[in-house]
Structure 1
């Protein structure tokens, strides 16, 4: 579930950060620390993406 949110928040078609979704991801991790591992794994994958916009959007979540 968390990985899907990260993928949606870092979609290469987005023009800028979706702050509502970013905050939802952070809130989910804060309320359930078990999701942190999944979110970190998804973020690492998106930071390694070839598209610079995807990388930037992933870094805005961190």
Structure 2
């Protein structure tokens, strides 16, 4: 056996244990984010930069989960990773990853109408007239 196959086997086992950490952080039965596990994941990502991109792809799978609690915990973990791992911000900010994050949002949040300046101004003017009369 060559040393290359030993190192890839070792990395694979390390990443499998790392996936278990991510699975524990985004488990269905977890009611609130466990910040000790999240910071342990961030610390591990900062010390060994080999698992950055595979971690983001694994988080993508967790974001596709049908349970909304798992999605919320995965978004919390992703936010923690983006805030604390500087080198992964570039990978999260790519167009395909951002398009994926936008596709996970409900359509209501993407296409709702926002009030314009004139509508607010008209509403405030009507309110001011009403207050002056009373």
State the TM-score, normalizing by the size of structure 2. Answer: 0.45
Where relative contact order (Cα < 8 A, 6+ residues apart) is larger, the structure is 1
In structure 1, the residue matched to 2:49 is 33
Q: Which has the larger radius of gyration?
A: 2
1:57 aligned to 73, 80, 98, which one? 73
Moved more, 12-21 or 32-41: 32-41
Q: Runs of 5+ in structure 1 lacking a partner?
A: none
What secondary structure does 2:30 align onto?
coil
How far, CA to CA, are the matches of 2:49 and 2:19 in structure 1?
14
Aligned pairs for 1:1-62 within 5 A: 1-62=17-78
CA RMSD of aligned residues (A): 0.8
Q: How many residues get paired?
A: 62
How far, CA to CA, are the matches of 2:19 and 2:55 in structure 1?
6
Q: Runs of 5+ in structure 2 lacking a partner?
A: 1-16, 79-134
How far, CA to CA, are the matches of 2:22 and 2:57 in structure 1?
10
